[in-house]
Structure 1
Amino acid sequence: MAQLQAVPSVSSPKISSHFHNRLGAPVFGDNICFLKNSISQLKVRAISNAISGAPVIHQSRSQRHFAQNPASQSMLSEKDVSAGIPSSTTDAHGSQKGSGLRGKLNKVVLAYSGGLDTSVIVPWLRVNYGCDVVCFTADVGQGVMEMDGLEKKAKDSGACQLVVKDLKEEFVKDYIFPCLRAGAIYERKYLLGTSMARPVIAKAMVDVAKEVGADAVAHGCTGKGNDQVRFELTFFALNPDLKVVAPWREWEITGREDAIEYAKKHNVPVPVSKKSIYSRDRNLWHLSHEGDILEDPANEPKKDMYMMSVDPEDAPDRPEYLEIGIVSGIPVSLNGREFSPAALLTKLNEIGGENGIGRIDMVENRLVGMKSRGVYETPGGTILFAAVQELESLTLDRESIQEKDRIALKYAELVYAGRWFDPLRKAMDAFMKEITETTTGSVTLKLYKGSVTVVARKSPYSLYREDISSFENGEIYNQADAAGFIRLYGLPTRVRAMLEKGI
């Protein structure tokens, strides 16, 4: 079992360097990385190589993964020189001295996906800021395929280290479920999938920057979108001393072809995966689609574009019934069985997707001022919103539900705009938590060919009373009392009419 000492222990979620077994599958431990190999064991120490400061593996000759070059402690590698990285000396730990073309940073934590854009950013940062680059990847449920091979991609691009954090449970528990409890929906449709993911990722980047001693963070967001704001407002809120680098606002690269040429020039392996014609963002809550024919709002989305849900026309011809258990506005169970937040959402995504649930096609107003058209798949989230809001119809009085709906609009706007850590959102969240304290019970829903229909709801805190609501007279409600109520309630209307008629 390999032992990793390169990074001190941190609180959950744990931090781990990213390696692969012989089959290429990533294997993680809490604060250690297990390298599965039947031949012998590898020992990892907390020492750095020439450029990166990445751990060196001491191993048998037959198990070589990567090793320290003694000569690299005093000079850059030939690859770095040929890549155009500015000449510099290094100290005993392999850290570069000197500045880049745009200035000098010591170490930068880069939000890294392994795609072309972020792979190119690694050498660009080193060339322009003379810095070590620590790539950071957050697992927020984007899928195994997007996580595979990242450590090798990052190292081949020139990064000194890859840090991976599993944020799925934190993402659902601390970001998605508060928005669900608040009823936060942006512009009548959007369930805030990308908006909620960015602050949890950016927060983790700030934590990693502290752990590895970085003085800057970087992201690959364009200057036209919302995500640049969401990342940077989180950085500002949690560590205003960190410098922020946004290459898309600085460099001369204007498109995919430029990026490929830059990658070749700096000996960065170009990702061989087929480039999607759509711009997509996926996490445990949703999958978004933008670009290509969707840029014209008059075009219907193609049937083969969707990935999380079947076409409602192709969904089963038999309805499926679900019972969602809710405690204080937070979902906790499915059909009587309790799940963790991430596990519950994962299961509902599967069931909802099979029934064609959760497709949204909308034109929205971006924070930066332009309109954009996007298509979203949110199967599990659509089911949960229907359940939670329906239970509130039993447990909230008229004034409470109206005020909650009013505040929910502002809550959604703040989340969409990246203001997750603003005092106002936190205060609103405290209100939402208090107002939904008694929103406990269960809701039964019927899923059928893209539709979600509520068929039953119950709560021990229900404000609905059958003895009052029935058409029969009772002791609490006397129908004769309505006459006086109507006369008083309608008095302003009656006075206005008298004035108009000269009475």
Structure 2
Amino acid sequence: MSAPRRCVLAYSGGLDTSVAVRWLREQLGYEVVTLTADLGGDGRDAADITARALRAGAVAAHVVDARRVFVEHFVFPTLSAGALYEGVYPLATALARPLIAKLLVEVAREEGAVAVAHGCTGKGNDQVRFDVATAALAPELEVVAPVRDWDMGRSDEIAYAAAHGIDVPATFESPFSVDANLWGRSVECGPLEDPWREPPEEVFAWTANPATCDSAGEELTIGFALGIPVRVDGESLAAEELVLGLNTIAGRNGVGRIDHVENRLVGIKSREVYEAPAAVLLHAAHAALETVALPRDVAHLKRQLSGEWARLVYDGLWFGGLRNALAAFVASTQEHVTGDVRVRCARGVVTVTGRRALRSLYSTSLATYDRTDDVFDHAAARGFIELFGLSLRTQARVQGALEDLAPLSLPRQVRRAR
């Protein structure tokens, strides 16, 4: 008799993947090996995770501490890019998927597996991210998606787990689906599926209610080197420690709550609640530092391309050529993004109160309106305006002025000198 085929399952220890361990064995005949990537943010204990996986029926359980790799190689490059999906979402879950896929492939090859599996549904974005990333890294591996294939809803899964003695954290009374890592916490399902309903307070775990926070807030200084945050209030910190610390500071001041109806890759709209205290703070600080460090044309083009970076990460194309090309562009823009940003976190709001770059393009002697210290040549402005408006004046002379409004007859008050 031939040995059972092995499958490596991306295992979170939650409802879907805990049920999937048993289902993969019973329905598809796989020996299941689990892979849990510790990306921080959820307080899980490695020993508890491995024990739960083995109790569910796994033949082996791997846990990898990938926090630093996650922040340094996925989170911070995306921060430097200024990438927020639809201008809002810091891409916490989306950034984790290519890293987990890479780890799945490594464990599959080590364990001699013929397939990898994930716990994504047929409606979500993560199924695309896992499938596409695995195909790019190891096209020889089959990708199995139990939750996409079985005919069970969440309540059915909870009942299945109870019937088979599988220990899971979800209950009928707490139906939320939660994913968390250092960069953010995502919550969906249950009451959140009604976009008119305000998120209940129990949805939030990392952020204090902004309405009840101390109005004075807290002020701190973030130090950047080449577009990467490296210091908080003058103290150098490892990447994961810096993010964890800022999650605590910003979170207790109510910063980082995001309630967003987003456009999923599969074509539906989804209401998501995110908590991302450090991400919201660092994006605000990084953008502020770029205002004094980047030339205008670079800043304007980068703003356009940051949307492309966000889209391809959201769509699961981290390992594609476009992301590599954009990474080279972003790295070049960060050459002089070194300096400090002072921010205040108070009642859910991040306010930039100061910024300075080591090689700042801001010049007080050029910007000042005090004519005593002003070195700007005001007379040169006349010639600049003459040339800048030349094409518009030529158009108006030859083709007539292009007006989009009829002559305005608005109520007015007129007083004349006597």
What is the TM-score normalised by the length of structure 1? 0.76
Give the aligned length.
399
| Equivalent of residue 300 in structure 1, options 198, 222, 241 | 198
Q: Is the 8 A contact 1:116 1:259 kept in 2?
A: yes
- Tell me the SS of whatever aligns to 1:369: coil
Cα distance in 1 for residues equivalent to 2:348 and 2:399 = 52
Pair 1:115–1:468, CA change in 2 (3 A) = closer
What pairs up with 1:324-403 in 2 under 5 angstroms?
A: 324-403=222-301
Cα distance in 2 for residues equivalent to 1:171 and 1:230 = 16
Corresponding residue for 1:126? 25
Q: Is the 8 A contact 1:181 1:388 kept in 2?
A: yes
CA deviation map 1:140-168 (0-9, x unaligned): 11423465522222222221011000111
RMSD: 1.9
- Tell me the SS of whatever aligns to 1:144: coil
- Tell me the SS of whatever aligns to 2:316: coil
Compare relative contact order (CA 8 Å, sep 6+) and give the higher one, 1 or 2. 2
| Equivalent of residue 362 in structure 2, options 427, 440, 464 | 464
Q: Is the 8 A contact 2:46 2:63 kept in 1?
A: no
| Equivalent of residue 50 in structure 2, options 151, 154, 160 | 151
Cα distance in 2 for residues equivalent to 1:130 and 1:274 = 28
Cα distance in 2 for residues equivalent to 1:280 and 1:257 = 16
Corresponding residue for 1:172? 71
Q: Is the 8 A contact 2:368 2:374 kept in 1?
A: no
Pair 1:501–1:212, CA change in 2 (3 A) = closer
| Equivalent of residue 227 in structure 1, options 117, 120, 126 | 126
| Equivalent of residue 269 in structure 1, options 138, 162, 166 | 166
- Tell me the SS of whatever aligns to 2:261: strand
What pairs up with 1:276-287 in 2 under 5 angstroms?
A: 276-287=174-185
Cα distance in 2 for residues equivalent to 1:389 and 1:263 = 46
Cα distance in 1 for residues equivalent to 2:118 and 2:339 = 42
CA deviation map 1:61-83 (0-9, x unaligned): xxxxxxxxxxxxxxxxxxxxxxx
Percentage of matched positions with identical amino acids: 44
Cα distance in 2 for residues equivalent to 1:384 and 1:303 = 25
CA deviation map 1:101-149 (0-9, x unaligned): xxxxx21000112233222212222233322110111111142346552
Matched, 1:314 2:212: yes
CA deviation map 1:460-498 (0-9, x unaligned): 210111122222277953101101111111122222332
Q: Aligned-pair distance for 1:372?
A: 0.7
Q: Is the 8 A contact 2:7 2:114 kept in 1?
A: yes
Matched, 1:432 2:330: yes
Q: Is the 8 A contact 1:473 1:479 kept in 2?
A: no
Q: Is the 8 A contact 1:121 1:220 kept in 2?
A: yes
Pair 1:286–1:260, CA change in 2 (3 A) = closer
Matched, 1:422 2:320: yes
Pair 1:317–1:232, CA change in 2 (3 A) = same
Matched, 1:211 2:110: yes
Cα distance in 1 for residues equivalent to 2:283 and 2:155 = 42
Cα distance in 2 for residues equivalent to 1:282 and 1:326 = 25
- Tell me the SS of whatever aligns to 1:149: helix
Unaligned runs of 5+ in 2: 402-418
Cα distance in 1 for residues equivalent to 2:89 and 2:248 = 20
Higher helix share: 2
CA deviation map 1:224-260 (0-9, x unaligned): 10000111111011111111111123223x2234334
Pair 1:439–1:278, CA change in 2 (3 A) = same
CA deviation map 1:255-309 (0-9, x unaligned): 23433454466x4434366453322111111111212222122111122321110
What is the TM-score normalised by the length of structure 2? 0.91
Cα distance in 2 for residues equivalent to 1:473 and 1:481 = 18
| Equivalent of residue 241 in structure 1, options 125, 135, 140 | 140
Pair 1:444–1:475, CA change in 2 (3 A) = closer
Cα distance in 2 for residues equivalent to 1:189 and 1:146 = 31
Q: Is the 8 A contact 1:113 1:146 kept in 2?
A: no
Letter aligned with residue 387 of structure 1 = A
Q: Is the 8 A contact 1:169 1:342 kept in 2?
A: yes
Cα distance in 2 for residues equivalent to 1:313 and 1:463 = 38
Q: Is the 8 A contact 1:120 1:268 kept in 2?
A: no
Cα distance in 1 for residues equivalent to 2:44 and 2:175 = 18
Q: Aligned-pair distance for 1:403?
A: 0.8
Cα distance in 2 for residues equivalent to 1:178 and 1:359 = 22
Letter aligned with residue 104 of structure 2 = M
Q: Aligned-pair distance for 1:427?
A: 1.0
